[in-house]
Amino acid sequence: NGVIPRFGHIFQNGNILIAFSQNIDLSTDNLSTLNEITVKAIDGSDYVGGTNSFYKIIHNPPIFVNEKEMFIFGTYSTKTGVAHDNINVFYSVDNGATIKSCYKAGVTNPPLLGARHIHATNYRSYDDTYWVTTGDNESPYTGEANVIKGSYNWETDVWTWSKVAGDLDAGCTYKIVSIYFPDADTAIC
């Protein structure tokens, strides 16, 4: 219908996830059909975002833990004046059948950090942690960045988060994007 997809992901089982500006669809039959899925907000309710909730998606390759695939991605906004407006980290552990928010900037407490962008979502396999970098809250400076670390409990479907570094409101305007973890012996984070 002339609507341009914003991103797509093919799961290992063949499901195809396609995000548009304000909704996400899933095909389980090689694109013969597309069905809109209900995205869940951080509190478990149906996610209600704006017209550009999924306009720009930041994602890394899928993660495989105990032979299960997790797809995790963040949203990125260019909107100014409103910190953490629809900025979430979303994930799926069931091949795209459900998409849930596991972190919402300015809301998830701890670590309760404002942001206008998710810059990256990275996985550190040797301790089974998820590292997210954020950027640009609405302080007088616009380059603030934070690094947060998450842990996921596969049995209870519960996330825990903690701040690792950043929140530089004192005028430092650097950016942090992806974090590279080569292996357990050489990683410094």
Of the pLDDT bands very low, low, confident and very high (cuts 50, 70, 90), residue 58 is confident
Highest mean pLDDT among 7-16, 49-58, 64-73: 7-16
Least confident of 62-76, 108-122, 140-154, 174-188: 174-188
Residues 107 and 165: beta-carbon distance below 8 Å:
no
Mean pLDDT of 174-179: 72
Per-residue confidence (pLDDT) for residue 83, from 0 to 100: 56
Does 22 have pLDDT greater than 50? yes
pLDDT digits (tens, 9 = 90+) for 71-120: 999 988 776 655 556 889 999 999 999 999 999 988 888 888 878 888 88
Bridge-based pairing of strands 99-104 and 117-124 is unpaired
